[in-house]
Structure 1
Amino acid sequence: MLIHEVSRTTGVTKKAIEYYCEQGLICPAILENGYRDFGQNEVERLGQISVLRKLGISGEEIKTVLSDESGDALQRLSVQKELSLKREQAKKTLLEQLSSGKSYAEISAELQTIETSKTITEKLLEAFPGYYGRFICLHFARFLNEPIKTEKQQAAYEKILAFLDNLPPLDLPEDLLEYLSESTRQIGTQQINTMIQSTQKSIENPDEFLSENKEFLEQYLAYKQSEEYQNSPAYKMMALLKTFNSTSGYYDVFLPALKELSSSYAQYYRQLEIANETILSRYPEIEKWNP
């Protein structure tokens, strides 16, 4: 199929098709007369590219998405898009405040807070693989909404960046990588946010959580002590993550710095400790909630 036929079939302009060819997003065959010959695979690929472009995905991001068979690239982009939309909404609010008389200096400080949040969340996504990275990115993003006002906060911010920039890669065995990808493929941004909100509610009222989930907790504990779980990929994954977090500085560098940077996270951490004490007093064999 020649380019003008492809353009008519897909609704993608010839200029755009030529650009995608130049970028290596599609690679049609070249006929003896020099014309491009687009097969069915190229036509389908153009349809995919068209959808991604309309969703606001850049050319470089599209390359990543189309070369990724796990689906993780799209899920990462979903997280980035959600956080980007929240930042844009915050900027819209700041624009309204500026037009209503708020000083440029005040707006500048608020903008710095937005950039601080963006920097940390992007580095979290880069530092941790797959679902784990998406989860902790969204988990911590909600606490990164305070301006840096003190030298201690600035030092904590720099410590966080240094930690994330120098974090060794979390090298998972091939079987665990496959398990992580397959078991979380259907867990999108909305589901992660729902889990985070549910955990927050449980932490705020651990007694209610225990009362409402008694049967589930007993079944959960029975499974965790079973041989089936001890031999499962989930157990191996949790053990590996615990070791990584313990040895990488996640617990003794990153979290203390985050508590110094964000008062809302420090408050959340205190709530979490209280909730863990309540739960462990009744179920000492259960694992603590992760901060």
Structure 2
Amino acid sequence: MLRNEIQKITGLTRKAIEYYQEKGLIRPQRLENGYRDYDDEDLEVLNKISVYRKLGLKIEEIEEILHSGIDALSAVLRRKEYAMEMAGRKRRVLDMIIQGVDNQTIAEQLTLIENELTIYDRLTMAFPGYIGQMLFVAYQPFLDEPIKEGKEHYFQQYICFLDNLPAFELEDNEYRYIEKLSSTWSLDLLKEVNFNKIQAVNNPEEWLLENQEFITDYQTFKGSSDYLNSPLNKIQEKFVNFLQDNNYYEHAIPLLRSFSQSYDNYYKKLIQANKKFLEMNLDQ
């Protein structure tokens, strides 16, 4: 098909089609007469692009979906959910300004927003898709407190650590697998799961007692050949090895604990909860 036919079918302009061609999203063949010949695959891609653009997706997000498959759309949607959440928080600050709230309080709220956005950006840059978003959600509840005077340099050191952290890389098939597995997980659902984890850490004896059957089933699954030979196990091992090789536990976690008192308190409880879990296993 020639370009004018493609334009009629897709409703895209000549300039738009040429732009997507320059971005490498379509690869029409050049005929002897110099015209471009667009095949059915090019048409399918352009139709998808047209739909996604009408829905407000950025070209970078569309590239991600086209490259990784439809399941990558879930990561895009979670990013948009977070963007909407941040827009709501900024709107509330504007309301505070209208209400005449003092400048110091306004400045504190803006700093909280900026710090959280900075951590979100760094984590999702270092860790692709679901993994970066999952990590951020695990930390987010502990980022809503002002950093105490004298502790700001720990925050800057943490950001510097993330800036120098190499990107966690997955094979294409691994990335598609994890995105497919998490395709129905909204940002709110991730937050709910994390909230339940925090509640379990705060009340470990009660949680362990109420969930003994679940824990037994989970441990059985983790030891099964189905899990041990699964892509999920391979990805989890790769993730843990990445964190260990880059000293994340030795450097990043202590820095987080240093600038967030609530995270430090949670981390101490997490260590105690883990000890109780291990003690329960030894007693069985």
TM-score by length of 1: 0.78
Cα distance in 2 for partners of 1:55, 1:69 equals: 17
Q: Which residue of structure 2 aligns with residue 41 of structure 1? A: 41
Secondary structure of the 1:210 match is: helix
> For residue 269 of structure 2, what is the amino acid of its counterpart?
Q
Pick the aligned partner of 1:202 from 193, 200, 203: 200
Tell me the CA shift for residue 13 of structure 1: 4.8
Deviations 1:161-212 (CA, angstroms, capped at 9, x unpaired): 121122244466x5xx745642551313425334323323322333332233
Deviations 1:250-273 (CA, angstroms, capped at 9, x unpaired): 212111111222233223223323
The answer as to whether partners of 2:201 and 2:273 remain within 8 angstroms in 1 is yes
> For residue 186 of structure 1, what is the amino acid of its counterpart?
L
Q: Which residue of structure 1 aligns with residue 177 of structure 2? A: 182
Q: Which residue of structure 1 aligns with residue 256 of structure 2? A: 258
Q: Which residue of structure 1 aligns with residue 99 of structure 2? A: 100
Secondary structure of the 2:62 match is: helix
Cα distance in 1 for partners of 2:219, 2:128 equals: 27
Tell me the CA shift for residue 231 of structure 1: 5.6
The answer as to whether partners of 2:75 and 2:179 remain within 8 angstroms in 1 is no
> For residue 137 of structure 2, what is the amino acid of its counterpart?
L
Q: Which residue of structure 2 aligns with residue 289 of structure 1? A: none
Change (3 A) 1:212 1:112: same
Cα distance in 2 for partners of 1:63, 1:240 equals: 25
Secondary structure of the 1:216 match is: helix
Deviations 1:10-47 (CA, angstroms, capped at 9, x unpaired): 34455544544455444445566666554332322122
Secondary structure of the 1:142 match is: helix
Cα distance in 2 for partners of 1:236, 1:25 equals: 31
Tell me the CA shift for residue 235 of structure 1: 4.6
Structure 1, unmatched stretches of 5+, are 287-291
> For residue 55 of structure 1, what is the amino acid of its counterpart?
L
Secondary structure of the 2:89 match is: helix
Secondary structure of the 2:181 match is: coil
CA RMSD of aligned residues (A): 3.3
Structure 2, unmatched stretches of 5+, are none
The answer as to whether partners of 1:163 and 1:249 remain within 8 angstroms in 2 is no
Cα distance in 2 for partners of 1:35, 1:203 equals: 65
Cα distance in 1 for partners of 2:41, 2:223 equals: 49
Q: Which residue of structure 1 aligns with residue 117 of structure 2? A: 118
Change (3 A) 1:138 1:56: farther
Change (3 A) 1:19 1:246: closer
> For residue 146 of structure 1, what is the amino acid of its counterpart?
E
Q: Which residue of structure 2 aligns with residue 9 of structure 1? A: 9
Tell me the CA shift for residue 117 of structure 1: 1.1
Higher mean C-alpha displacement, 116-125 vs 218-227: 218-227
Secondary structure of the 1:185 match is: helix
Q: Which residue of structure 2 aligns with residue 165 of structure 1? A: 163
Q: Which residue of structure 2 aligns with residue 82 of structure 1? A: 81
Identity of aligned residues (%): 36
Q: Which residue of structure 2 aligns with residue 275 of structure 1? A: 273
Change (3 A) 1:149 1:212: closer
> For residue 177 of structure 2, what is the amino acid of its counterpart?
E
Q: Count residues in correspondence.
A: 281
TM-score by length of 2: 0.80
Deviations 1:100-150 (CA, angstroms, capped at 9, x unpaired): 112445423322321211111111122234543231122223322333341
> For residue 100 of structure 1, what is the amino acid of its counterpart?
Q
Q: Which residue of structure 2 aligns with residue 221 of structure 1? A: 219
The answer as to whether partners of 1:131 and 1:181 remain within 8 angstroms in 2 is no
Cα distance in 1 for partners of 2:224, 2:32 equals: 66
Secondary structure of the 1:147 match is: coil
Cα distance in 2 for partners of 1:25, 1:98 equals: 45
Tell me the CA shift for residue 93 of structure 1: 0.6
Secondary structure of the 1:283 match is: helix
The answer as to whether partners of 1:131 and 1:180 remain within 8 angstroms in 2 is no
